[in-house]
Structure 1
Amino acid sequence: MQHLPKVCASSNWAYIGSTIKGRVQLSFITRSLIKAKSPKDLRNCHYTTSRKMMMEMSEASRNDPVSNPLPEKDDKATYASGSSKSEDGALSCGYSSFRGKRPSMEDFYDVKISKIDGTTVCLFGIFDGHGGSRAAEFLKNHLFNSLLKHPDFFTNTRLAISQTYQQIDKDFLESVKDTFRDDGSTASTAVLVGNHLYVANVGDSRTVISKSGQAIPLSEDHKPNRSDERKRIEDAGGVVMWAGTWRVGGVLAMSRAFGNRMLKQFVVAEPDIQDQEINEEIELLVLASDGLWDVVPNEDAVSLATTEEEPEAAALKLVDTAFTRGSADNITCIVVKFHHEKSEPVDHK
């Protein structure tokens, strides 16, 4: 995955991506890094190259930063990391993404930070593809842009998230209706409007917060053997069976996902949404694909993230830990740190 951080000054958006020029540059860089064994091996080279590329790419991205989707990923790329922060300094975020032991990269992520009508709006997303990368890439390209255009985004954010998730699922299925592939993807997203956080989840990616040092999951993995999920699937005429792990129809190891048109009657994209106010007890937020959560418990993730001052370093440490512990999947995570001493109270209704 070749995404590197850049800031588009013309629209005040901070977001993750790269231009075609940047994509060619990174392909050259990753060819020299292909022998690296873990994220730790790549770290020193990445810090030097990504900062230079960020400056070169930002100018080329000025024309249409919101509607222009993040570019196609280069499967030659094995690793990326970067960081961003809010204009008022109230939060900073870092991300790290590693192909790991998989032959191709099917994880995608997106970060958008802006101020709209005086309100800070931050969007963080992890999209873990299965059966191919197209569904995850579609989410990266369209989900947040569509959400921000929803007429009720500020007045009823929870409704806007739910409706946008399900509409994007329909849009993706329409876009691939004439193909023979059946890609799918998870989505775990955190949407911060002022000081109100909404976490929405479809699939088995996960979002966890650290509250007064305690790890608290803000999403519950959608697994077919969950009693409520199993009942929903069976009520719809589906079946959950054991095939190495619990699977819908003996095929899919998660009970909700974007895409997966052959199982769409049972595998829905309706998100579970939790929300809460961000106060001084909330220290940080970790979003990650199951490549991390398969081997790193919630408590370990929070504990490891708090040992690093910079969120990018925390994300790097989490990805490296997952790889060291034997994760066989793509590994992607975003760490968001809140700096309450710099934040101002926001009255958001």
Structure 2
Amino acid sequence: MVCNSFLRSVIVQACHIGVLAQGREQFSNIKRTLSVGFGVSNKWSCGFKTSTKMMVDSAAGEKRVSIVDMLPEKVDDGGYICGGWKSEDGKLSCGYSSFRGRRSTMEDFYDVKAAMIEGQTVCMFGIFDGHGGSRAAEYLKENLFENLMKHPQFMTDTKLAITETYKQTDAAFLESEKDIYRDDGSTASTAVLVGNHLYVANVGDSRTIVSKAGKAIPLSDDHKPNRIDERKRIESAGGVIMWAGTWRVGGVLAMSRAFGNRMLKQFVVAEPEIQDLEINHEFEFLVLASDGLWDVVPNEDAVSLAQTAEEPEAAARKLTETAFTRGSSDNITCIVVRFGHEKTESPELKPNPKAEPEAKPETEPKQTSE
């Protein structure tokens, strides 16, 4: 995410320091880990070391969830970080690919978690694209899904839990950074799958799409300052939208919602827009990615490219490579989640030798859905 240099200069002048703190950025490549939580029932299997965590639900008491860290990640000679996993029953698989690209620093983070909570399989996928530094995105990777699973209404009112967790995590991040003179921010595009119910939440201009019966359908709407509803919201709060190479809040930030960004917090909120839907046999796969992909790869192209790869890890790698080849100047991170549906076959009809031949029906019989 490219943040206007004006923001940094304002912070420098306001705090009377010569340079912004950059200590966290040198650790961004070291601490990039993909943590996946699996239910104690062992329904999911990846063959990695497991550790047990206690998570407290204030409404229902303590819940025990096994956490699996998938380490080490695979880093090839080209600098791509790739990996993936598949459920033991084959009903869900995931692949990811992340690449620093042409940027001097890496500010993208991602997270994938799975757990068994109250007898339900829960999977969470997230893309976090930092701007003005990597700390906000790193904080979301470390805390957002952990906080969500602790929310007392996570399983009973998932949509409410996501909204409140986004806001609370934003407030906690700002509190943790109150004595640090910098103004990091981050997007968050997440997909939470509870059983067969999918919740897609978005803050910023990372994006999630789904391939449904071969068609690309966006499940989030980029939070850009020139969106009519976003412009109206910002101006109603006393903010201004200015053109500085692109439309920016206060002439600084090229998105209208984000985590962090303390100086613009009155206008740049972390309230997510959420879509919820039931997964059926028409849903083929999800693509979650930072804008390093979407800047150069349209939704339809992303679906077409991902369809050519058999495994989601290969699909994610292909998407990041394509974005870089097409000239993306940003960090590029992508997660592909593939749904494996059981195929249902129509029962074989055997002719009855005693029956008279029937006239051919005018319309084809309807196929039974899953």
TM-score (norm 1): 0.80
Q: Is 1:270 the counterpart of 2:259 in the alignment?
A: no
Answering whether residue 225 of structure 2 is matched by residue 227 of structure 1, we say no
Give 1:115 deviation, angstroms. 2.3
Q: How does 1:246-285 map to 2 (within 5 A)?
A: 246-285=247-286
Could you say what secondary structure the match of 2:138 adopts?
helix
Q: Distance in 1 between matches of 2:132 and 2:101?
A: 17
**Which whole-Å CA distance do the structure 2 matches of 1:68 and 1:167 have between them?**
26
Residue 90 of structure 1: aligned partner = 91
Which residue of 2 is the match for residue 314 of structure 1?
315
Kindly indicate whether residue 51 of structure 2 is the aligned counterpart of residue 62 of structure 1: yes
Tell me the residue number matched to 1:106: 107
Name the CA shift for 1:10/1:190 in 2 (closer, same or farther; >3 Å).
closer
1:192 shift after superposition:
0.3
Structure 2 residue 191 is matched with structure 1 residue 190: yes
Distance 1:241 1:227 in 2: 14
Alignment partner of 2:95: what SS?
strand
Equivalent residue letter for 1:279: N
Cα distance, 1:247–1:9 mapped onto 2, change above 3 Å:
closer
What pairs up with 1:204-219 in 2 under 5 angstroms?
204-219=205-220
Counting only pairs closer than 5 Å after superposition, residues 121-132 of structure 1 correspond to structure 2 as 121-132=122-133
1:4 deviation in Å? 5.7
Q: Separation in 2 of the partners of 1:283 and 1:148?
A: 26
CA, structure 1 residues 149+66, in 2 after alignment: closer, same or farther (shift >3 Å)? farther
The residue type equivalent to 2:293 in the other structure is L
For residues 307 and 176 of structure 2, the distance between their equivalents in structure 1, rounded to whole angstroms, comes to 41
Rounded Cα–Cα distance in structure 2 between residues aligned with 1:271 and 1:9: 26
Question: Residues 236 and 67 (structure 1 numbering): CA distance in 2 closer, same or farther, change over 3 Å?
Answer: farther
Q: Which moved more, 1:144-153 or 1:4-13?
A: 4-13
The amino acid across from 2:294 in the alignment is: W
Structure 2: runs of 5 or more not aligned: 1-28, 54-64, 345-370
What secondary structure sits across from 2:211 in the alignment? Answer: strand
Kindly indicate whether the alpha-carbon contact (under 8 Å) linking 1:113 and 1:122 is maintained by their aligned counterparts in 2: yes
Amino acid at match of 1:318: L
| Structure 1 counterpart SS, 2:280 | coil
Residues 51 and 67 in structure 2, CA contact (< 8 A), matched pair in contact too? no
Q: Secondary structure at the match of 2:288?
A: strand
Cα–Cα, structure 1 residues 4 and 135, in superposed 2: closer, same or farther, change >3 Å?
Answer: closer
> Which amino acid is the alignment partner of residue 339 of structure 1?
G
Q: Deviation at 1:63?
A: 5.3
Structure-1 residue corresponding to 2:158: 157
Instruction: For 1:223 and 1:63, locate their aligned partners in 2 and report how far apart those are by CA, in whole Å.
Output: 41
CA gap 1:238/1:68 in 2 versus in 1, 3 angstroms: farther
Pairing 1:284-299 to 2, within 5 Å after superposition? 284-299=285-300
Q: Specify the alignment match of 1:34 in structure 2.
A: none
Other structure's SS at 2:269 match: coil
Residue by residue over 1:206-246, the C-alpha shift from the partner in whole angstroms, topping out at 9 and shown as x without a partner, is: 00000100000000000000000000000000000000000
Distance 2:84 2:343 in 1: 18
Q: Secondary structure at the match of 1:341?
A: coil
Q: In structure 1, what residue type is equivalent to 2:159?
A: R
User: Quick check: 2:200–2:275 contact (8 Å CA) kept in 1?
Assistant: yes
The structure-2 alpha-carbon separation of the partners of 1:68 and 1:305, relative to structure 1 and needing over 3 Å to count, comes to closer
Where does residue 137 of structure 1 map in the other structure? 138
Identity of aligned residues (%): 71
Q: Which runs of 4+ in 1 moved over 6 A?
A: 6-10, 12-15, 65-71
Aligned to 2:326: 325
Cα distance, 1:307 vs structure 2: 0.7
1:115 aligns with 116
Q: CA deviation at 1:70?
A: 10
- Report the more deviating stretch, 88-97 or 256-265: 88-97
Q: Return the alpha-carbon distance in structure 1 between the equivalents of residues 226 and 40 of structure 2.
A: 45
Q: Which has the larger radius of gyration?
A: 2
Aligned equivalents of 2:262, 2:150: Cα separation in 1: 26
Query: What is the RMSD of the two structures over their aligned residues, measured on CA atoms?
Result: 2.8
Aligned residues: 300
TM-score (norm 2): 0.75
Report deviation, 1:119: 1.4
